[in-house]
Chains A and B, each alone.
Chain A
Amino acid sequence: MFDDRSPIYLQIANAIKDDVLRGALEEDEQVMSTNQYAAFYQINPATAAKGFAALVDEGVLYKKRGIGMFVSPDARAKLRTGRRERFFAEVVDPMLAEARMIGVPVDEIVKHIGAQK
């Protein structure tokens, strides 16, 4: 379930962010508790809590005392903006670097993208 590439709590946070972006988690919807998360993925609850804390810091989740963690009302918008800002630097540029390395001309890439629209 989790790989070694990054700390598990970050992987959890990213998985929740993806769920929010995809719509699998709605705004103001309650998220599983840290204990439920821990039991489901067989990890220490402190790790799950760390992931949740990171998301609270970023404003993706908020806590309702005595009840649990909920998705922030503006979470999706916030995440989209953030990911959009980093889209070109983190996704497109590496793709272009790879294309350069293996000799795929940019025109072919543009043609391919055009066909996908």
Chain B
Amino acid sequence: MTESRLVATSLLWIYRPVGLWFWSLMIFGVAIGVGVIVTVTEPRFSLWLLVAGSAAKYWLSVVGVLLVSTHLRQFVATGVTRRAFLAGSAVFGLAAAWLFTLIVTTGHGIEQSLLTLTRHGPLPADYPLLSAGSAASEFFHVLPGELAFLVSGAAIAAGFYRFGPLPGLLLILPGLVPALVAELLLGRGQHGEPLTRFLPFGLALTLSLLATALAAAMYQRKLRDVAIPRPAGQ
């Protein structure tokens, strides 16, 4: 197994238990939330998409930060090169974003099915419908956001790690670009529905992925030969 593949699988191994916890809590919480909503009113929105959809992105951005602030040091301490770590963490990031997008989209489908089965009559018009046809486009609407937030977290943390607190603050802005672009162009409406703004979907998708890729490249460059100092406060 190459070093970078070892890094990727080890990161997955590290995050599997905490990821399971996160999604279990998410499912549990949203299930109760939906249960409460339907007893009170009509489900005009997808609670799952609104809550889980956002939470997933922020969670991944935290993972992005942790990759730099914690994991880089741990992995180098086991004799792995920074290059191998960067490559492995990139694969891990892609896998995590892909997986989370899958869960978000599938969850939407499950929520919709459960609502349909337990109610009499059709769903309200405002509820964002998921069909076999729209599943793919919803998937590719969510994926760029997941990727963007992960990379933004990592890029911002990398700025601080390499250049220190003051330059790090300045570098927050370029680091935020992927997340901002994704939110702007491929955001979510009030009812949780995927919303493409300002540009046609294809272009928006391309632009978002490009911004994310550029920030990822920036992140890699910052860390390629970075020193591994003692962590602050130890």
The answer on direct contact between A and B (beta carbons under 8 Å) is no
